[in-house]
Amino acid sequence: MAAASPSSAAPSTPESTFWAEAEQHLVRYGGGFVHEIIERAAGSFVYTASGRKILDFTSGQMSAILGHSHPAIVETVQRQVATLDHLYSGMLSRPVVELARRLAETLPAPLEKALLLTTGAESNEAAIRMAKLVTGKHEIVSFARSWHGMTQAAASATYSAGRRGYGPSAPGNFAIPVPNAYRPDFTTPDGELDWRRQLDFAFDLIDAQSTGNLAACLVEPILSSGGIIEPPPGYFAALQHKCRERGMLLILDEAQTGLCRTGTWYAFERDMIVPDILTLSKTLGAGLPLAAVLTSAEIEQEAYDRGFLFFTTHVSDPLVAAVGNTVLDVLEKDGLDVRARDLGAFLRTGLEDLATRHEVIGDIRGRGLLAGLELVTDRETKQSSDELGARVTRRCLELGLHMNIVQLPGMGGVFRIAPPLTATEDELSLGLSILDKAIGEVTATR
């Protein structure tokens, strides 16, 4: 066998060669790639091989809440990787125990036990596995536009995409409708969303389908891939009551909403509830692969007594745990929960201003620095257009702004806007001005 070449993609690689090699050797895993070679990133921007500077309005994959290459993260990685990076999964290190303790200190009782993993899918996989073992049941309920990951149990609880063509999902997975105030299915006499009637109807259907083995309800406090949909106040308390009636555990997936992004440390704080199990990922590592499952001592003890097994290669890894501690340091020191509230209000005002000038903006929603902007071709009918969203997204990138558009049947084009919590008002204003220009140019040629 010939030896591998020492360099796979040095900066001097011609662009044509780069894309030829990408086409020849990469598995495509979710549509096409952005046709830019990214050389580096810093703060709120990524920089291309051609010298372009692109404002990142998605924090990478909705993860880099401290921006790219934050000095504190860089320093921690350099120090930790030279000291202690990876261990046998049964060994413990100080960063792991410290992070578990500190996460517990940010949460209400009884959430005090942590399992440190890598990705959101893995944390949801572990949470579902734990819930099934503890309850002795196997049925899982999730929102019809959910996204919880691509591994087996997480993918079986994911309904926004990726279900066709893969054969049977895990048995006992059920979907309930999303309480979408902009596109209500159950309405009050005045046309508003009647979420209580919707929730009652949903669980009537769940009860009709269940074999008596309802283990857990796994949901996002704000659905992101589902179109930045925030259930109304009171919804999650009512949902938790439905779970309690049936002996189910409530699992909240705060991959994108956890750790200050919505203006509070956790999105569930608004609803005055405490989940049985909480999963964190994306924001916990600020762009590095770190996730966590948090639960009560009672649930953890029951799982342990029943032989809970989730022994993975990178469970309790010290390198990323040290990064997680640094993330908490920066969030606390810089008061980024308050900053997310303030910048979120600034961003929303800017988006509302755009809506006064562009009839294609149908709805603005979200909380803190997780905002949704839905594009429609007609405000009265709320007619969606995948083509419109795709064209605006493409024009934004050409103008120097990276945006993420959700395009689901019946949803229209919904921009998921999630800049770093470290972004400045000037950077948000720049993004708003580019979006304004892109929408204007695209609609002018329709």
For the record, the structure tokens of 202 come out as 């949903």
Catalytic one of 145, 282, 367, 391:
282
Look at residues 162, 161, 193 and name the one whose alpha carbon lies nearest to residue 179: 193
Q: Does the annotation count 416 as an active-site position?
A: yes
Catalytic one of 56, 137, 147, 395:
147
How distant is the alpha carbon of residue 304 from its chain centre? 29
Catalytic one of 145, 246, 391, 416:
416
Instruction: Check if the beta carbon of residue 371 is closer than 8 Å to that of residue 355.
Output: no
Q: In 3-state terms, what secondary structure has residue 214? A: strand
Q: Does the annotation count 261 as an active-site position?
A: no
Catalytic one of 139, 230, 253, 300:
253
What CA–CA distance (Å, rounded) separates 395 from 389?
10
Q: Does the annotation count 282 as an active-site position?
A: yes
How many residues are given for the chain? 446
Buried-exposed string 354-374: b where 16+ CB fall within 10 A, e elsewhere: bbeebebbbbbbbbbbbbbbb
Contacts of 326 (CB under 8 A, 6+ apart): 72, 73, 76
CB atoms within 10 A of CB 44: 23
For the record, the structure tokens of 345 come out as 């209000």
Instruction: Check if the beta carbon of residue 191 is closer than 8 Å to that of residue 252.
Output: no
Q: Cis check for the bond before 171: say yes or no (omega within 30 of 0).
A: no
What CA–CA distance (Å, rounded) separates 161 from 170?
16
What CA–CA distance (Å, rounded) separates 367 from 278?
19
Q: Does the annotation count 253 as an active-site position?
A: yes
Alpha helices in 246-335 (DSSP H): 282-285, 297-305, 318-333
Catalytic one of 256, 276, 337, 339:
256
Q: Does the annotation count 147 as an active-site position?
A: yes
For the record, the structure tokens of 400 come out as 């120097």
Give Cα separations from 306 to 102, 130, 301 (angstroms): 27, 10, 9
Catalytic one of 122, 125, 139, 220:
220
Which amino acids are annotated catalytic?
A: 147, 220, 253, 256, 282, 416
